Amino acid sequence: MEYEALALTIAGSDSGGGAGIQADLKTFQTFNVFGMSVVTSVTSQNTQDVRSIEDIDAKIVGDQIDMIMEDMGCDAAKTGMVSNEEIIETIAKKVKEHNIKKLVVDPVMVSKSGARLLKKEAEKAMLLKLIPNAYLLTPNIPEAVLITGIPIKNKDDVKIAAEKIYELGAANVLIKGGHFEEDTVTDVLFDGDSFRSFSDKRIDSKNTHGTGCTLSSAITASLAKDLTLYDSIKIAKDFITRSLENAPHIGKGYGPLYHKTIPKDISAFDREAKDFDYWFSKNENVFQAEFLAEKELFPESENSLSIGVGSGLFAAKLGIKNGVEPSKEMAKLAEKRGINVEIGTAEQVPFASNKFDVVLLSTILSYVTDPLNALQEAHRVLKKGGHIVVSFLAREGSYTMLYDLARLMGKFDMERAPRYPYPIKFIKGASWVSFEQTDKLMHQVGFTDFEYMQTLTKHPKYTDEDVEKPQKGYKKGDYIVIKARKK
């Protein structure tokens, strides 16, 4: 197993374990990012109070950064508690020296218990030295007020404050709205051109210690993995909400979050939807062979549904009018092709029972968590006597063998692979199903009158040169289509 990226936290130590570098490192680990730390201060605190603070010598802070960057480097970094002017100036200098581009600055000023963590005389250094180096600044409402001097009483004030903070040099500003007493917590991002909002339900909990640290470290972890800023914030917001929901009851005051919450994944299909279409344009012969195999068994019907419709390329050519798709970016492409798309999953199809004459599951079984449940859902939405068409790359096929080999090796062997191989980022989440497994599950669900079609029996290297005609039955084809009927 390998970590997906490296992230650095430059922050204070929380002896209670709920905030500071402790919260940051726990979050990095949960996101499968290797965490490194530069300690700026040592605090004596628990869930109730901060008793004492000892700042680390600025030279040692600088040396810690040098040692990490000279050897391991980092894909993204964050700052938390940086309590005095000398430490702030040292961090700002080192960030420039080591060309740390993705720096998330969490302007930690006051603890949950009310203790001041940023010395008043260091505020100017924060504004003039550190904030201009920030790729993202993440103040809460009280911190935004301290930074700008603007009273913030509503969402319009939030936007004014965000614009003011942006003028200080931060590339992006995220003002957290948790201090507004509303049922929904809305954070506002300003990138210099436009505002974007991120909303989640408010969790009524006293266990909120380290919320800001955890949010900024979750964003940093996703940025380190090369996700977009929007997706990084979206994932972090969801992570915080569920970490608050599952927070343990530790201590007598403001308890910590649950840092082992599994982060929500933004799939490659959302991030790289256009790349998916590009692959089809470069592999038209492979696509044509696949399409011909589906078309051979697909009954003509306008009352049809494609589950996992993707970009809608196949569905549009087959005359399908409705689709289900978990990726919003893919859904947009399908809608441009004239398909009515509902956001949902194969395991939870957002349509009524007994609604469609034909349902298509095109390669989706390789990506679902529960293939049996997906087939049961397809059976549910079909009318009595309706047909299901399931198409997939069989686990035993040479195509999937090559893909799995490429995943292990980290690259494709171009002597054996197609000229334009299927992008590795789209197959990382795939779990190839076998012909026998799929056939057995379809019988188990209650389908009948089975027909089979296969294609792509040639060596993969040559599939981009010739359209291979589909063959009835199943013997050794890489691409399999199964048609069956609901009794």
pLDDT tens column, 344-357: 889 889 999 999 99
* Residue type for position 298: F
* DSSP 8-state assignment for residue 57: P
Report the alpha-carbon distance of residue 444 to residue 217 in Å, rounded: 46
Question: How far does the chain reach from its first CA to its final CA, in angstroms?
Answer: 46
Query: According to the model, what pLDDT value does residue 411 have?
Result: 59
Tell me the pLDDT band of 11, cut-offs 50, 70 and 90.
very high
Are the C-beta atoms of residues 241 and 288 closer than 8 Å to each other?
no
Query: Where is pLDDT greater, at 58 or 407?
Result: 58
Q: Does residue 432 carry a pLDDT above 90?
A: no
Q: Where does residue 125 fall: left (phi above 0), alpha (psi -120 to 50 degrees), or beta otherwise?
A: alpha
Q: What is the mean pLDDT of residues 274-287?
A: 72
- C-alpha 175/C-alpha 164 separation (Å) is 12
202 burial (CB, 10 Å; 0-12 / 13-18 / 19+) is middle
Rounded Cα distance, 441 and 445, in Å: 6
The stretch 348-373 carries a mean pLDDT of 91
| Residue 18 tokens, joined | 């709920």
- In the chain, the percentage of residues whose pLDDT exceeds 70 is 89
d(CA 287, CA 268): 20
| Mean predicted confidence (pLDDT) in 430-436 | 85
Of 259, 260, 241, 249, nearest in space to 19 by CA: 259
Return the higher-pLDDT residue of 457 and 295: 295
- Cβ neighbours around 101 below 10 Å, total: 13
Residue-wise pLDDT tens digits, 159-208: 999 999 999 999 999 999 877 777 788 899 999 988 988 888 888 888 88
- Where would I find the H helices in 283-397? 284-297, 313-317, 328-336, 371-381
Choosing from 35, 212, 308, 312, which is the catalytic residue? 212
> Which position among 26, 78, 112, 176 bears the catalytic label?
176
**268 band by pLDDT with thresholds 50, 70 and 90:** low
State the pLDDT confidence band at 231, using cuts at 50, 70 and 90: confident
Asked about 169 being catalytic, the answer comes back as: no
In the residue annotation, 448 being an active-site residue is answered as no
Is 240 a residue whose pLDDT tops 90?
A: yes
Sheet architecture: strand order including 340-343:
340-343, 322-325, 304-307, 356-362, 382-393, 479-486, 447-455, 471-472
Which residue among the candidates 210, 308, 310, 323 is catalytic per the annotation? 210
Catalytic residue among 9, 43, 148, 211: 211
Q: What is the pLDDT of residue 425?
A: 66
Q: Is 253 a residue whose pLDDT tops 60?
A: yes
How far, in Å, CA of 64 to CA of 401, rounded? 45
Q: Which residues, listed in sequence order, are joined to residue 175 by a DSSP beta bridge?
A: 188
DSSP, res 433: P
Write down the pTM of the prediction. Answer: 0.61
Of 9, 27, 40, 208, which one is the catalytic site residue? 208
Q: What is the mean pLDDT of residues 453-482?
A: 78
- Count of Cβ atoms closer than 10 Å to residue 227 Cβ: 18
For residue 429, indicate whether it is catalytic: no
Catalytic residue list contains 208 = yes
Distance CA 339, CA 351 (A): 15
Instruction: State how far the Cα of 276 lies from the Cα of 325, in Å rounded to an integer.
Output: 14
- Cα-based distances in Å from 94 to 21, 55, 74, 140: 19, 18, 13, 26
Q: Kindly tell me if the per-residue pLDDT of 277 is higher than 80.
A: no
Residue 429 is which amino acid?
Answer: G
pLDDT band at 435 (very low <50, low <70, confident <90, very high): very high
- What does the pLDDT look like over 374-429, one tens digit per residue? 999 999 999 999 999 999 888 888 777 776 776 666 555 656 556 666 666 666 66
In the predicted structure, residue 112 carries a pLDDT above the cut 70: no
Please tell me what DSSP assigns to residue 256. B
Q: Is 211 a catalytic residue?
A: yes
Q: How far is CA 295 from CA 209, 224, 302, 385, 435, in A?
A: 57, 43, 14, 19, 19
What is the spatial distance between Cα 366 and Cα 433, in angstroms, rounded to a whole number? 6
Spatial separation of the C-alpha atoms in residues 89 and 58, rounded to whole Å = 9
The overall average pLDDT reported for the chain is 88
Domains and CATH numbers, the chain: 5-266 (3.40.1190.20), 270-486 (3.40.50.150)
Cα-based distances in Å from 118 to 23, 165, 439: 19, 18, 64
Instruction: Report the distance separating Cα 93 and Cα 90, nearest Å.
Output: 5
**pLDDT of res. 419:** 62
Overall average pLDDT of the 451-470 stretch: 74
What mean pLDDT do residues 75-101 have? 95
Look at residue 463 and tell me whether its pLDDT is greater than 60: no
Q: Residue 235 has which token pair?
A: 């994932």
Q: Which of 28-37, 116-125, 142-151 has the highest mean pLDDT?
A: 28-37
Alpha helices (runs of H) in 298-345, residue ranges in sequence order: 313-317, 328-336
- Whether 260 sits among the annotated catalytic residues: the reply is no
Q: What is the pLDDT of residue 192?
A: 92
Instruction: Determine contact, residues 45/15, Cβ cutoff 8 Å.
Output: yes
Q: Which pLDDT tens digit goes with each residue over 290-343?
A: 889 899 999 988 899 999 998 998 899 999 999 999 888 889 999 999 999 999
Nearest-10 Cα torsion for 35, 40, 42, 48:
-80
